[in-house]
Structure 1
């Protein structure tokens, strides 16, 4: 699948997902509006039923009368002051219960024109009752058509949300699962695509690395088949030496490739012994200085560590240092200037390898320690390798209970810092290496 097709599929899927989310929110809004509408109708119906009951009871005897209360003997009282509070309270609550309306709520009789409340079930909500939308006229009972029976619900705004809360949670959960599934699918696809590119790059580099020695061996073998070459011992020895060297080169390349399986399965064995880090560094510097002489480059040492002996595997430690120095050489065009420094921490030694090469971008710094990853250099074959060096270095350093850090700036160089613990070497082995 090419990049354009993949991008189109992602966009269409994103639009479809956005449409589903929009429809869900549209349904949620409609559900809330429907809940509010049903609630308003239930309240209105309950209040009207209460008014009908009040109308039927307004001419009853004193004991069950609408206007009779504990002060019914005072005939000079205004009718609105003679309301039977207990009768109204029980009547309205019964109607609300029958409609499934639960507390908290406040109800009362009031006149919105004069802003006066004749009676209310809770005095602290007078202002809210006067402004309520849930009210019915009491004109059938009072001469004043402005007198109303109303109700106020303190949690009215949240009731609709509470009723659909679990459906809302389920909806958001399903949307979250859908978004996560889509995101993970895209991430997995991109990861697999990147892995495929890395493997393809690895195969290309492996083919290139094998092709040269195979061609050299083939040519040298062809020359050895000629009688004139076999008759001349010097020439025969020369071509035999070429075959031997190229065979060793092939063997080393195969061993590098086999390191992948070994490191993945963690089958490597650590044979630790007391090892002088400074001694290994000096040996490597001597070897690489001979190679860098042709490029007019050099390695400078600044071995400041007072204690340079640690408990480590000498072979793996040599490979760690060799990989770091080799990378510094390969990625330093022109005349390489490489500096190796050591210093002590309280529990071990820090080794730094610094160059003034092409550097590594911040984006690639997060990837360089991954298996088969090679920093892009513009040409696959201008810098040889399989992308195993730094992966091997990090694995071996961590196997020694150490750590590795990278500081780099593009076009200015890189600095690798490796910490390795002492591992309790014998005190009399300590050597400052200077």
Structure 2
């Protein structure tokens, strides 16, 4: 038990460490790609401003230009606006050919599209010293956005009073777009690790459950077999007493007691073997006409003698005498299981209603009690083998957890169904349905009044 706790603890620690490392890796990847995006924007913006400058240069035809400002390089990729480019910007502004940010915006979007960098950008002409926005492509006219990624300022006046800058709005979108493959890979890794750890935990839980079921089964088997075996042993020992053997009444009483315990052991063994056979292959009922009314009456008589509680049976048969094609042994044991459960999982005063009706579609048998009831959660699992429900464990009732699984197997072998209706503290109703098609008797000769 302690080893399971340690393994679970280590598993949760492993999950936490994995998520932490994954988070650190993702954060580092985000910062790296964010830096790459910022570099791409700067490079594309430098090329853009260079191209816009050359467009304005071509609009001025002046043979004295080279003598005034020198030769301006047309290498858009390497211009850094710290030499001739900046002088040319100053010259063109003085000639009233100021920089056009709308043209820059158009050229810049072409550049970033070529680099497959997508996002919403605005271009600002600003005063680098004060940060004042002199002109902007922002539809709101503000030019300042919280959380935007700003490029380096490219100066356009020699005195440093003006410059241009591009802002990427919501940069995380552009970064995550660039990280799409990394995100998918990371998600797949997390899902794989999560599935592996979940499978591991499920295996531990199943193993623990199997151990508990094994212990419960062993305890119940010991309890259910020790009592009849001890009784048989005591009766056998008493048979050595000559005085007891001479007393016919006492002798017959003890012999009947031993025979009853033998029958209990046989029923217990048959129940376990039947469930085992149902697990290996489907049950094959031996269909014969049986007297359902007599079968129910025998069960009432059997439990009335055996039980140590105060049990009151009430019956309803429609019609009074019911014949139906079914496997007598299976039907007997199935109803016996339901009555046994009704008695075990109730208080000291037990009320059991047995309702048997022949209807248009087949035989309906209802077993209702005033017991502890079954919770909604337990109702989903109680028909599984070895499942006994939390309420049963709390009441410390003995059993294997095979009874209801056996009942379900029997009804399914007859192509029927079993339904459960219960509320905690209000008792339980089990309804068994066996259709006519399970046997050869028709509706007409299945019923005798």
Report the TM-score, using the length of structure 1 for normalisation: 0.74
Instruction: Report the counterpart of residue 164 of structure 1 in structure 2.
Output: 179
Instruction: Report the counterpart of residue 196 of structure 2 in structure 1.
Output: 181
Instruction: Report the counterpart of residue 422 of structure 2 in structure 1.
Output: 408
Instruction: Report the counterpart of residue 442 of structure 2 in structure 1.
Output: 426
Choose from 273, 284, 302 the match for 2:299.
284
Q: Given the superposition, is the C-alpha separation of residues 22 and 344 from structure 1 closer, same or farther in structure 2, using an over 3 Å criterion?
A: farther
Does structure 1 retain, via aligned residues, the 8 Å contact 2:275–2:405? no
Instruction: Report the counterpart of residue 390 of structure 1 in structure 2.
Output: 404
* Structure 1 unmatched ranges of 5 or more: 67-75, 118-122
Instruction: Report the counterpart of residue 280 of structure 2 in structure 1.
Output: 265
Instruction: Report the counterpart of residue 202 of structure 1 in structure 2.
Output: 217
Q: In 2, distance between residues paired with 1:333 and 1:89?
A: 85
Choose from 146, 150, 153 the match for 1:136.
153
Q: In 2, distance between residues paired with 1:58 and 1:296?
A: 108
Does structure 1 retain, via aligned residues, the 8 Å contact 2:318–2:357? yes
Q: In 2, distance between residues paired with 1:108 and 1:211?
A: 91
Choose from 43, 47, 53 the match for 2:45.
47
- Residue 158 of structure 1 deviates from its aligned partner by 1.6
Q: Given the superposition, is the C-alpha separation of residues 101 and 149 from structure 1 closer, same or farther in structure 2, using an over 3 Å criterion?
A: farther
Give the stretch that moved more between structures: 187-196 or 86-95: 86-95
Give the match's secondary structure for 2:34.
helix
Choose from 332, 357, 365 the match for 2:346.
332
Q: In 1, distance between residues paired with 2:189 and 2:340?
A: 53
Give the stretch that moved more between structures: 182-191 or 229-238: 229-238
Q: Given the superposition, is the C-alpha separation of residues 61 and 218 from structure 1 closer, same or farther in structure 2, using an over 3 Å criterion?
A: closer
Give the stretch that moved more between structures: 18-27 or 311-320: 311-320
- Residue 392 of structure 1 deviates from its aligned partner by 0.3
Instruction: Report the counterpart of residue 38 of structure 1 in structure 2.
Output: 36
- Residue 35 of structure 1 deviates from its aligned partner by 1.6
Does structure 2 retain, via aligned residues, the 8 Å contact 1:402–1:419? yes
Q: Given the superposition, is the C-alpha separation of residues 264 and 61 from structure 1 closer, same or farther in structure 2, using an over 3 Å criterion?
A: closer
Choose from 364, 377, 383 the match for 1:369.
383
Q: Deviations over 1:51-95 (max 9, x none)?
A: 5677799877957999xxxxxxxxx99745477999979986897
- Residue 360 of structure 1 deviates from its aligned partner by 3.4
Instruction: Report the counterpart of residue 68 of structure 2 in structure 1.
Output: none
Does structure 1 retain, via aligned residues, the 8 Å contact 2:123–2:164? yes
Does structure 1 retain, via aligned residues, the 8 Å contact 2:371–2:426? yes
- Residue 209 of structure 1 deviates from its aligned partner by 3.0
Instruction: Report the counterpart of residue 335 of structure 2 in structure 1.
Output: 321
Give the match's secondary structure for 2:349.
coil
Q: Given the superposition, is the C-alpha separation of residues 305 and 377 from structure 1 closer, same or farther in structure 2, using an over 3 Å criterion?
A: farther
Q: In 2, distance between residues paired with 1:379 and 1:430?
A: 41
Give the stretch that moved more between structures: 12-21 or 304-313: 304-313
Q: Given the superposition, is the C-alpha separation of residues 24 and 306 from structure 1 closer, same or farther in structure 2, using an over 3 Å criterion?
A: farther
- Residue 40 of structure 1 deviates from its aligned partner by 1.5
Does structure 1 retain, via aligned residues, the 8 Å contact 2:124–2:134? no
Kindly report the root-mean-square deviation, in angstroms, between the aligned alpha carbons of the 2 structures: 4.5
1:22 and 2:20 correspond: yes
Does structure 1 retain, via aligned residues, the 8 Å contact 2:436–2:443? no
1:115 and 2:134 correspond: yes
Q: Deviations over 1:122-170 (max 9, x none)?
A: x78684877672353343xx56744434445567432211222222222
- Residue 44 of structure 1 deviates from its aligned partner by 2.0
Q: Deviations over 1:215-243 (max 9, x none)?
A: 444444455567x5799595996576666
Q: In 2, distance between residues paired with 1:362 and 1:90?
A: 66
Give the match's secondary structure for 2:401.
coil
Does structure 1 retain, via aligned residues, the 8 Å contact 2:126–2:163? yes
Q: In 2, distance between residues paired with 1:365 and 1:89?
A: 68
Q: Given the superposition, is the C-alpha separation of residues 407 and 85 from structure 1 closer, same or farther in structure 2, using an over 3 Å criterion?
A: closer
Give the stretch that moved more between structures: 329-338 or 307-316: 307-316
- Residue 197 of structure 1 deviates from its aligned partner by 1.8
Instruction: Report the counterpart of residue 71 of structure 1 in structure 2.
Output: none
Does structure 2 retain, via aligned residues, the 8 Å contact 1:308–1:349? no
Q: In 1, distance between residues paired with 2:336 and 2:142?
A: 82
Give the match's secondary structure for 1:281.
helix
Report the TM-score, using the length of structure 2 for normalisation: 0.72
Instruction: Report the counterpart of residue 365 of structure 2 in structure 1.
Output: 351
* Structure 2 unmatched ranges of 5 or more: 66-71, 73-91
Does structure 2 retain, via aligned residues, the 8 Å contact 1:276–1:431? no
Give the match's secondary structure for 1:423.
helix
Q: Given the superposition, is the C-alpha separation of residues 57 and 246 from structure 1 closer, same or farther in structure 2, using an over 3 Å criterion?
A: closer
Q: Deviations over 1:236-276 (max 9, x none)?
A: 96576666555444433332332232121125212335556
